[in-house]
Every structure is written in C-alpha cells, then in structure tokens.
Amino acid sequence: MTTHHFHPTHYHATIGPHEPVLRIAAGDTVVTTTVDAYGRDARHEQVTAGSNPQAGPFYVENAEPGDTLALHFDHLYPNRDYGYTSTAVAANVVDPQYVGALPERARAEWRIDRARGTASLVKPATKLGNLTLPLAPMLGCFGVAPPDGQAISTTTAGQYGGNMDYRGFVAGVTVYLPVFVPGALLFLGDGHAVQGDGEIVGTGIEVSFDVQFTVRLLKGKRINWPRGENAAYIFTVGNARPLDQAVQHATTEMLRWLQEDYGLDALGAHILLGQCVEYDLGNMFDPAYTMVCKLPKRWL
Amino acid sequence: MTTHHFHPTHYHATIGPHEPVLRIAAGDTVVTTTVDAYGRDARHEQVTAGSNPQAGPFYVENAEPGDTLALHFDHLYPNRDYGYTSTAVAANVVDPQYVGALPERARAEWRIDRARGTASLVKPATKLGNLTLPLAPMLGCFGVAPPDGQAISTTTAGQYGGNMDYRGFVAGVTVYLPVFVPGALLFLGDGHAVQGDGEIVGTGIEVSFDVQFTVRLLKGKRINWPRGENAAYIFTVGNARPLDQAVQHATTEMLRWLQEDYGLDALGAHILLGQCVEYDLGNMFDPAYTMVCKLPKRWL
Amino acid sequence: MTTHHFHPTHYHATIGPHEPVLRIAAGDTVVTTTVDAYGRDARHEQVTAGSNPQAGPFYVENAEPGDTLALHFDHLYPNRDYGYTSTAVAANVVDPQYVGALPERARAEWRIDRARGTASLVKPATKLGNLTLPLAPMLGCFGVAPPDGQAISTTTAGQYGGNMDYRGFVAGVTVYLPVFVPGALLFLGDGHAVQGDGEIVGTGIEVSFDVQFTVRLLKGKRINWPRGENAAYIFTVGNARPLDQAVQHATTEMLRWLQEDYGLDALGAHILLGQCVEYDLGNMFDPAYTMVCKLPKRWL
Amino acid sequence: MTTHHFHPTHYHATIGPHEPVLRIAAGDTVVTTTVDAYGRDARHEQVTAGSNPQAGPFYVENAEPGDTLALHFDHLYPNRDYGYTSTAVAANVVDPQYVGALPERARAEWRIDRARGTASLVKPATKLGNLTLPLAPMLGCFGVAPPDGQAISTTTAGQYGGNMDYRGFVAGVTVYLPVFVPGALLFLGDGHAVQGDGEIVGTGIEVSFDVQFTVRLLKGKRINWPRGENAAYIFTVGNARPLDQAVQHATTEMLRWLQEDYGLDALGAHILLGQCVEYDLGNMFDPAYTMVCKLPKRWL
C-alpha cells in the first residue's frame, strides 16, 4: 500500500506497449499530474506535442491478460488558472445542411478559480459575458494498452478505454478496465474542468490536472468493455460508431455484469434494465463515439 | 378558455389527416383518456386494435401551417391497476453476436398502486421478486398531422412528433410542435407508468391514462423539430436513425432556438452549448430513434 | 390479358390508400406515362406539384394482403427532349468538414436525343462542355400502398417500395412487391434518363417517361422487401438508414429467398452468398437509403 | 529498377512502425509471398499466428510524410491448392431479428485448381455440391504505417489502408497510399482466391499467395484516403463505420481528385460524379467497413 509521487517527464500520443515509467503494486496509490490536451502543464508551458498526451504507462505488478484493473480516482482537479475550449460545435454533430452556419473553430479562454470552484469565460466577447460555471473536473482520456500489440492514437477509444470524454469520470468513481498485456500499462491525461455531454465542440475546458489514483487487481476477472461505479450507479461504457453500436456494446456488457456478478437470472436482468436503465452520452466528436449504460444501485 | 371533457370512442393507428373528434381553441383545456399500447382501456377492455392507438385528432381552431402548437401536459396518470412490459431487451440494442442470448420476448405483469405511486412486478417469477418502482408517468406517443398529406404509423416518429418514448414527457412539461395542416390535428396515446431510457425492451409499463392538456398557439412561429421545456430545462427532440442523426437534428434545432429566441449570438450559443449541453435517449426501439438535447435554464 | 392505355390526369405526393384510377387484372399490361420529379409532363408543362408525383394507383383485381405483386417493366423511355439534374453532391454524402466546399445547388439542363439514345449537358458552362452520356432509362420511384393505412411521402422508401432510385430498375426487369392492401394499389413515377449510383446529387436526369408494364400475381406468396430479377441476376432491396441497415434488410431477404424458393439448405445459401454476392447502392439522398443485394443466376 | 526476391520469415499482426525487412527504391519490383489469414503458407504449414498476418514492412527509400506511394500489383495468385471460407454470414450483416437463424460459424474447404483457374467446394456437404467458381485473386489487406506512431490491428482499416477486402484489388491495379512515416513501411497479406462483395461471411477463399508488386513515389503529393486505378476506372476508398461515413470519405476524396488532378472545375466535378459515379462495397465485416467510389475513365 505504497503512495508514489510521480512527476511525468514525457508523454505519449498513443496508448500502447510503451516502456513503463513506474511500477506499482495492487493497492498502491499514485499522486501525479497530467498536461492539458494541447501539451501544456501547470505552469502553462508546452512540455510535449498536443492531442491528449498521456502520462504513463504505469505498470501494475502481477496484472496479466484476463484480469481486470480497478482504478479509483481519488482526486482530480485543475492545477492552473487557465483553460481553453473550442468555439464551435463540430460539423458531425449538426445537420449536414447546417454546417455552413457554424462559426469558425477558434479558441475560447476561461479563468479558473480553484478556490471558489468556478470557471469564467474570459474571451471571446459574446452575449454570454463572463459566464461562470461550477467546476466539474473529469478525466477525458485514460486506458490500458490494447490487445495484439496495438498502439492507438489518444484521439480515439475502444475496449481498452481511451478518449471517452465522459462527464461521469470524476473523483470518487471506480473504473474497471480489461487487462490485455502484462502489467496492464495504465495511461492518463486530458483533464477537463467542465464539459458538456458529447464534448460536442471537441473540447471541455482543457486544463492540466493534479491526479491521485489507487489501483486494485481483480485476478482472473474478465470483462469486455470499461465498467465503473459511483455511490449511486453502476455503469458500462461502449466506444464505437455510430452511437447505436456504442449503445449495443454498453448494454451487452451491462447484461453480462448483472447476470455474472449480481446474481440476476436472464429474465430478471432484462426486466430490470428495461424499466430502470439510463444512458449518458460520452463524446460524439472522436473517431469512436461513447455511450454509457447506467443502472441505479438501489435496484440491485 | 373552455375545459372540454372528451371520451374517445375510436382510435387511430396512424398520425395523419383524419377527421377531427373535437374542435378546441387556443387556451382550451381537454380532459380525456388514452388506451394502452395494446388497445385496452381503464376497464382493461380491448376497445381497439393495438400498436399505440391514438386518441384524437383534436382540431385547434386557427392553427395553420407555419405556426407552432404549444401543448402543456397538465395531468398524466394511470387510470387502472395493471400494466405490462416486455421481458427482453430488443435485438437491435445488443451486440449482434449476443442476440442468441436474449430471453424470449414475453409479457411481464405489473400491479400499479395509484395511491402510493408505485408499480410492482407480479410475474414472471424472477430473482427480482416483487420489484417495486416509483411511478413516473409519461406519454410515449403524441404528435400532429405530418406534412404532404402523409399518414404515418404510430410506431415511428418524425418532425411532427410521434412515438418518441421520452421519459421527459411528463406532467408539467410544455411541448412545442410544428403545425403542418390546418387545425394542427393533435393525437395522443401510449401512456407509460414507468420507463427506462431508450425503451430498450420495446415497452414501458404500458397502461391506460387519464390525460389533461392545454393548448396554446404561437402564430407565425416556425420550428423544425419538437421542442419542450420544464422548470429546469429547455430541450429539443430529434427522431431518426442512426442515433447520430437524431443528435444532429436535436442539436441543430437547439442552436437555432438559442439564437432566434434567447438573443444569443452564434459564438455565444456554441460556447454555451459546448460546456453545458446534456443529452437524453428517447426510444432506441422504433424505426426512428429519439435523442433529446437539453440546456439548463439557469444559463439563459 | 388486356392492354390498357391510360393517360394520368392527376398525381399523388404520397403512396397510400388513394382512390384507384384504373382496375386491372393479373396478366394485364398498362401503357401510360409519368411526369418528371418536378411535375412536368412530355410537353414540359407543369401538370402537378413537384416531388416525385406518382401516377396511379392501379388496382390489381384479386390482390390481397399476403400476396406478392410481380411487376414487369416492358418499356421505360423518356418522352421529351429536356431533362434536369442538380449541380451539387448532397451534404450528407461528403465529409461534414467538406460541406463548405460544395457548390450551390442549382439546376443543370440536358438535351436528350431519344433517337441516338444520348443525353448531352447544355448548361451550366463547365469544363465538361457538352458531355454526352448514353441513356440508361430507369424508374426512380414506384411502389404499392404500405400497411396500416399509411400514406407515405414519395420522397422516401420502405418495404412497399417507394423512392429507391436504383439504376437497376430498367426495362426488362421484373420487380416483386409485397401486397399490403386489397388491390395492391400500384404507383409509378420519377423517371431518370441517366443516373449515377446513390443519386448523390439528389437527381438523375429528371424527365417524363413513356411507361409500359405488365402485372402478375403470386397468390399467397409472402415477401418482406422488394425483390427483382433480370436476365443475369436475382436481387433484393433494403430501404433504411444507415446503409448498414439497408444491407441487413436486403441480405436477410436474399437468404430467405434462396432457402424458400431455390431449394438451398441454410449452409448452402450462406456459403454461396459469401463468395458470390454483389451489392449495389440505390439512393443515398432520401430519408431512407437503398442497398441492393444481388446474386448471379448462373450459380442457382 | 531492381527486382527483389524476398522470402518472408516473420509476420505482423499490426500495421505500424516495425523494423523494415527490406529496403527498396522507387521503381523497384518485389517478388514475394503472403500467408493466408490463419498464418499458413504455401506448404499449408502454420508459420505464424492468425488474423491477417502481414509480410513486410518494406521500406521505400526517400518516401516521406506528405508523399504518396504508388503500388502496382503486377501479379497476385494462389500458391497452393487449398483454401477456406466461413460457413455463415456475419451477425452484423443480417437483421438483428434474424441472427438466431444463422448457421454455426464453421470452416468450408475449397480445392483450388490453379491451372484451370477455379475453386471448388469440397466440404461441408450442401446442396451446392462441388460448386466451382472462377478464381478472382485479390489482396484483402495491405497498407502503410499509420500516423502518430500508431500500430493498428490487421483486422481493421483506415486512411493508411489495412483490411479493406475489396474485390477490386487485383493484379493490374495501381493503388495510391498516403505516406505517414519515413520509408512509408508497406505491409501485405490476406490473399483471397475468390470473394463476394462485403466479405459478408468474414472470409474470402483464404489462401497463401505469390505476389509481385512495383512501387513508385509521388513526391510532395498529398492524398487523404487510398486511391486506385485500373484500365477502366479511377477509384477512391473510404474505411469507417457506418457505411455512410465510408461513402462520405470516398466521395470527398474523389471530388478532390477530380479537381486537383483532372482539371475539373467544382461544378463540372459535381455534375459528372452525380450522373456517372459507381460504388462498390469492400468489407462489411471488420471494425471499419469499406466503400469504394468509382468513376469510368472514359468520362475524363
């Protein structure tokens, strides 16, 4: 049960079988930082190239293909005062005939007040003025090395996690990821101070983060897609296009979970899910879209 | 401002240019009933053939193509003690490879306690026992006659409304529908005592309803897709396949609304939506799927 | 075996349960005309409003729900010298990010030389000059009244046929359509002198047609989707969005056909289709897209 | 203009920045072999693990990011007498409700007569008997290292090529691939003696191949998606899900090609494509589906 303080010095543009930066054991906690999606750190310095650069990978001792990695987000919080968003909804999120009406894709700047827990729009000047939103810090991209020796861009997502941009990945949540390679090889990055569903402008309020997480290992537990839980819900995550397929992955994973781990018979799982399921939209911007299938724990 | 008490005696399997059953004026209130999706009424008697039979159409005096009909749900509540759900998630909602694992599609029976506001599973026998859920009564299908003289099955949805199966269509909500024909020709049916997101088993808890609604007319106000509002949110509805396209319709409609009626400039609308938008899943069962784009009123 | 000469005097914007214009018997032939997609006839006069106005419906004596209507196109040919196309690929057929690069949607004019069997571009002036293409006359939209009393816009398609814009619907082809209402109620229109796959500019070379067709009736033969055959192929048609779903419908219908009518066992049907199937794209412009699943007759 | 005779001794399960096995120059020809999709070679021996193992990568001297690699298939032919197909159409290619009717996914065996140019079904026993098909040898999977240091499974496809399973990739064709890394790093594998459109059973007749190809380099020529040409057509390839998106990629690439390299103005390119385009379906089995946009050279 060691707590590691780790300061990243280089970053990855792919999630894959890269050289581990730290070896940790099940039960260990890591205190570290992530840079923003453009490669800037807490001092606002460009320390790596952009596009969701990832800290890690963290090698989890004894993790083997066929296990599940449980990743608890202990703490996720911006570690600087400026964040950025895009100014235009993405072309793929509006009617094709409406694309010509989209504003130019530029950068908006937000002032983050970490003490008060708010983010305020600084520019451009719009009728929103200095719109001020409550912080809801979440991690946009994290995952473990995918199967078959693949190294996959941090702009997309799959069964191994990746750039899911789900607002539910906040401090207090436990995420379960399937292990495909020895050591699991955990990566993290792309913190958002605030984000709307779907990450429809292609960004949350992009900012560098202080991160603390704790890992556990579920030996011999096989899962197919990321799972998670918070105080009120269990949930499963599907990453694919179109959204329909992401829903199919997440729903299938939930049906399996209910029957394998919650002792429900098939009929019970289906009847329960039919009347109590909820769905959230992760991102609808990346090559793979994300849908989340949720079930309130009170019904379990 | 008349209150009409109307008892339906026949029902429609399509939403289209049918003979009006009642003429009402803007500002009027109608107290009526709907039968369940299988055509059974409050006494549990089969009064019409199944598949979301609709009461109506109600002709709204002075409504003309190019207007918008505002429909306020004053009261929506089950008017009998039994409801039904399907027992299996639909094949299109799970991975194609998982379809073989689906249970047979049969009917589950629920006891509705209207005084306590609950629904309890009666059969089949599963590990859920007599699972008891709080009522959350909503109307699955309603709409106005579509354009071009079309009459469209009540199993699907479009710009005119239809079978959207959105959990947010509850008492207290105001829905806005584009008027395509003189009198608008409003239809209603398909009450659900409870329903999960996506109506993924193809049913909510299907039951007959007592319904009270009030209409207003927004003369000369053109909209493209259903809109709505409750105390906390404004929202827009897209109906299409795949879900991606439903999101596109709903998001485009919201961008128009923000700029036309809430005084936002384009940049402001995009920046706001990017960080504050929420999406809900209506049904993912019908020929047309439904996605809802929501914005909290506190940001407007 | 009567040959009817029928001159249409009014047209329909929906395919539905409209009053028949002519009653014909199985075996009968009809010689008639269709107007172009904009409602103009052989004299280039506007005789009805636009959007694929349909001649008919033709009532086929003795056709009942559960039968199949066999429709043989004896003759399909332009009956005037001018046709029109759109000048821009539709926004939904290009990358969302490329929509801004599309030219404005205007009308191009083509001179049809019926004797030589060619169509030549007249305007606008482009580097194509007077591009001259061989005629390949096909019927873009035809179908029978859909089920459940529906009347559906001639801009879309479904199990009943409709606006499929498939280049394979030429003279010499036999099409099979499921009968949903007494008399089948056959509609036809939207002739194209030439058309690319996908009807990606939203038009073929739109022109009025001389049409001759002969109907037969397959009593008690149930099919789910349009089927067809020419000298070399049998084929099935799926109409839906996205294209994936259209492929699913067409492929499922072909698997059924091979097993029900060609005496193949399931394994044989699957192995054969796997190595010998071909797919064509009908339209990718309308609300419902069209995919065609083909199998060369030589393997049957 | 060297001809290299290269015998592969190891294979890759990903297309990525792997150690080159041979360095070649623009203008050079390579005579080599590929193993089948299951990792078996000409002697039918298992020489590597399955799933489209790739020979290569071949490093093309002087190839740099921003160039285009022209790959001419001089010769593609089976080099042994046995091939294999799957016996069942994939679950994602049929209606979800029809999945239960699919036969079990087993292996069919085919005898290849290389002298006569045919493949005959050996087993299982079906009503097809010893169905004999003409060989149409094509390469299912090939590509260059993708951008951003990615290594991507040979089961899928993207802008870099990959597992496209397009029947048009036969001897005599020239394919153009965008270069993302120094040396381009060309991979090849997954030969099919015969294949239906869509590779809907998940296989062609899988067999090891003799391969001869010649490379050229188009310095400074940027393309976004694979392009190709044969005697009659130019074509572009889109790889994505759903098929709609694959069409969008391919069509956009074709519009660019016509305007950049064939001297067409935008209006001319759109008008021409609208009436003369053809589409083919590559695979509809892999994570990314493939659509091909074709234009007859006679119109250029």
| Residues above pLDDT 90, as percent of chain C | 99
pLDDT for A50 equals 85
Q: Is the dihedral of CA B207, B208, B214, B217 positive or negative?
A: positive
**DSSP annotation of D290:** E
Across the interface, whether the CB atoms of C242 and B240 are under 8 A apart is answered: no
User: Shortest Cα distance from C97 to chain D (angstroms)?
Assistant: 10
Mean of pLDDT over chain A = 97
Q: Which of B90, B97, B242 sits opposite D91 (nearest CB)?
A: B97
> CA dihedral in degrees (C220, C221, C223, C227; nearest 10)?
-140
Residues A275, B196: C-beta atoms closer than 8 Å: yes
Structure confidence at residue B156 as a pLDDT band (50, 70, 90): very high
> What's the confidence (pLDDT) of residue D1?
84
pLDDT tier at D69 (50, 70, 90 boundaries)?
Answer: very high
Residue B213: partners with Cβ closer than 8 Å, 6 or more residues away: B29, B30, B71, B72, B73, B74, B188
Give the side-chain half-sphere CA count within 13 A for B215.
Answer: 29
Q: Per the CB < 8 Å rule, is C196 touching D277?
A: yes
- Per residue in D223-258, pLDDT (tens digit) is 999 999 999 999 999 999 999 999 999 999 999 999
* List of chain A residues with pLDDT < 70: none
Using the predicted structure, report yes or no on whether residue D50 has a pLDDT greater than 90.
no
> Is the backbone peptide bond immediately before C242 cis, with ω within 30 degrees of 0?
yes
Taking contacts as CB-CB distances below 8 angstroms, the residues of chain D near B92 are 96
* Mean pLDDT on B174-191: 98
The residue of chain D nearest to residue B243, with distances taken between CA atoms, is D242
Find out whether C93 and C200 touch, Cβ atoms under 8 Å: yes
Residues of D with CB below 8 A from B242's CB? 242
Contacts of D12 (CB under 8 A, 6+ apart): D18, D53, D54, D56, D57, D154, D187
For residue C225, pLDDT over 90 is answered with yes
* A90, A96, A242: residue with CB nearest C242: A242
| CA triple B160-B166-B169, angle to 5 deg | 80
- Which residues in chain B are closer than 8 Å to C150, comparing Cβ atoms? 14, 16, 150-153
Mean pLDDT, rounded, for B55-62: 98
- Average pLDDT over chain D, rounded to an integer: 97
- pLDDT classification of C1: cutoffs 50, 70, 90: confident
| Per-residue confidence (pLDDT) for residue B300, from 0 to 100 | 93
Q: Give the mutation candidate from C195, C270, C295 for the D interface (greatest D CB count, under 10 A).
A: C270
Q: Which of B16, B36, B70 is nearest to B139 (CA)?
A: B36
Residues C13, B241: C-beta atoms closer than 8 Å: no
Residues of chain B contacting A264 with CB distance shorter than 8 Å? 126-128
Q: Angle at which helices D243-261 and D266-276 pack, to 10 degrees?
A: 130
Distance between CA D201 and CA D195 in Å, rounded?
10
Q: pLDDT tens digit string along B236-260? A: 999 999 999 999 999 999 999 999 9
The complex's ipTM? 0.97
Q: Kindly list the residues from chain A whose CB atom is less than 8 angstroms away from the CB atom of residue D159.
A: none
* pLDDT tens sequence across C27-74: 999 999 999 999 999 999 999 998 999 999 999 999 999 999 999 999
Average pLDDT of chain C is 97
**DSSP label of C151:** B
- Say whether pLDDT at B163 is over 90: yes
Residues 6+ apart with CB under 8 A from B35: B8, B11, B41, B47, B48, B53, B55, B189, B208
Residue with tokens 């404004």: B234
Torsion from C-alpha of B263, B268, B273, B275, nearest 10 degrees: -140
Residue B50: band (very low, low, confident or very high) from pLDDT cuts 50, 70, 90 = confident
C298, pLDDT greater than 90: yes
Pairing type for strands B55-60 and B22-24 reads parallel
Quote the pLDDT of residue B1. 83
Of B191, B251, B176, B150, nearest to B55 (Cα)?
B191
Find chains touching chain C: ≥3 CB pairs under 8 Å: A, B, D
User: Is the overall model pTM greater than 0.95, yes or no?
Assistant: yes
Tens of pLDDT along D172-182?
999 999 999 99
Report the neighbours of A using a cutoff of 3 or more CB pairs below 8 angstroms.
Answer: B, C, D
Q: Are D93 and D102 in contact (CB under 8 A)?
A: no
Residue A290 has a pLDDT of: 98
Structure confidence at residue A1 (pLDDT): 84
The helix/strand/coil state of B156 is coil
Express each pLDDT in D105-145 by its tens digit. Answer: 999 999 999 999 999 999 999 999 999 999 999 999 999 99
CB of C93 closer than 8 Å to CB of D248? yes
Distance from CA of A289 to the nearest CA of D (A): 11
> pLDDT exceeding 70 applies to what percent of chain D?
100
Instruction: Measure the CA–CA gap between A24 and A21, rounded to whole angstroms.
Output: 10
Cβ(B26)–Cβ(B3) under 8 Å? no
**Six token digits for residue C84:** 């029109």
